[in-house]
Amino acid sequence: MKNLLTTAEKRLLAQGIRTSEAKAILAPAQHLLADGFFWRHQSDGLVVFLSPKMSQHYRLPLDFKELVVVTNRFHVKPLLPLLTDDGQFYVLALSQKQVRLLQGTRHSISEIELEGIPSNLAEALKYDQFEKQLQFHTRTANARGRRAAMYHGQGIGVDNAKTTILQYFRQIDRGLRELLRDERVPLMIAGVNYLLPIYREANTYPHLVDAVVMGNPDRTRVEELHKKAWVLLRPRFHKARRDAVAEYQQLAGTGRTSRDVREIVSAAFHRRVARLFVAVGVQRWGTFDPKDHALRLHDEVKPGDEDLLDYAAIQTLINGGIIYAVKPSLVPDDAALAAVFRY
């Protein structure tokens, strides 16, 4: 990292930044060099973003090639495997006692803070209201000394229980509908068998998948949920990528595809790119001016350059396209960049 910071300083100076300003920009990262605790707690990869107004660093489960980029915006293409639809999914860990929404990728998973969604059955139905409708018994106190309420019944009582749970799940679905309203990411349920058909009856999210992580999620570590979910979803993502490649090949020669960086960068800016294959670990340095569509490619990075593959990927992402950030060998036509256009 020390060598990378030296390179960054040289590139800042080459762009006309004064020495004092360059050192101020890099100071937060320089401080990390002497932080022994920081270096003892690392992941596979480290990303550092620096600007005159802010600094952020992230330890991520991706193995990055060493890279320094100095330009007018942050370079994020190496992070795309964590950010794109290709491999991104949600797990709804569902029980009567707890609701958790987990956002995962092939490499990692994290819990999303929920707002407007009941955290358990008691909260959803106001404990004192549904207590009158159901019979309760208590189990042995858990590790926190609390007793978990459970209902039981037969005949009409069982029907009431299902109705109660369905009402609970509909509240969850309403909250998720708002949270995921613009998403196309697969949603998987983790839960016990008898709750699954009730939730499917309540669900309105169009991308709920059939596969489920069976068992009580309250007793399963997040890491284990991630592992089980990815095993089930991996074939789905591989098929989606194969289908996208097949679509690219089918449309080749119709004007709906391209492997030309110049054409794709302009099309991405104008929201024409529906699907983009971009090679991770490869850069194409140059500049693009959206005002006059002037694009210049350089064999080596020059002051003011940016990675145009990164530019195309970000424009595609923010304009609702799907990105496949893959190894260079997996990009169609042996290109660094390939696109399927909307029109």
Place of tokens 């609390």: 146
Four-point Cα dihedral 294, 299, 304, 310, nearest 10: 80
User: pLDDT digit string (tens) for 18-59?
Assistant: 999 999 999 999 999 989 888 988 888 899 999 999 999 998
Is the pTM value of this prediction over 0.75? no
- The pLDDT score that the predictor gives to residue 131 is 45
**pLDDT < 70: residue spans in the chain:** 84-86, 125-159
Residue 126, pLDDT score: 62
Residue 85 pLDDT? 59
On whether the CB atoms of residues 173 and 196 are closer than 8 A, the answer is no
pLDDT of 159 reads 62
Q: How far apart are CA 187 and CA 90, in angstroms?
A: 5
The angle at the Cα of 286, spanning 282 to 287, to the nearest 5 degrees, equals 135
Count the neighbouring beta carbons within 10 Å of the beta carbon of residue 159: 11
Question: Are 284 and 297 in contact, with CB atoms under 8 Å apart?
Answer: yes
Q: Domains of the chain by range and CATH?
A: 2-70 (no CATH), 89-234 (3.30.420), 252-341 (3.30.1330)
Residues in the chain: 343
Determine contact, residues 89/187, Cβ cutoff 8 Å.
yes
Can you tell me the distance from the alpha carbon of 266 to that of 295, in angstroms, rounded to the nearest whole number?
9
Would you state the pLDDT for residue 132?
Answer: 47
Rounded distance between C-alpha atoms, residue 212 and residue 246, angstroms: 28
What does R_g of the chain's alpha carbons equal in angstroms? 25
Can you list the pairs that 246-250 forms with residues at least 24 positions away whose Cβ atoms lie under 8 Å?
Answer: 247/275, 247/340, 248/275, 248/277, 248/332, 248/338, 248/340, 249/332
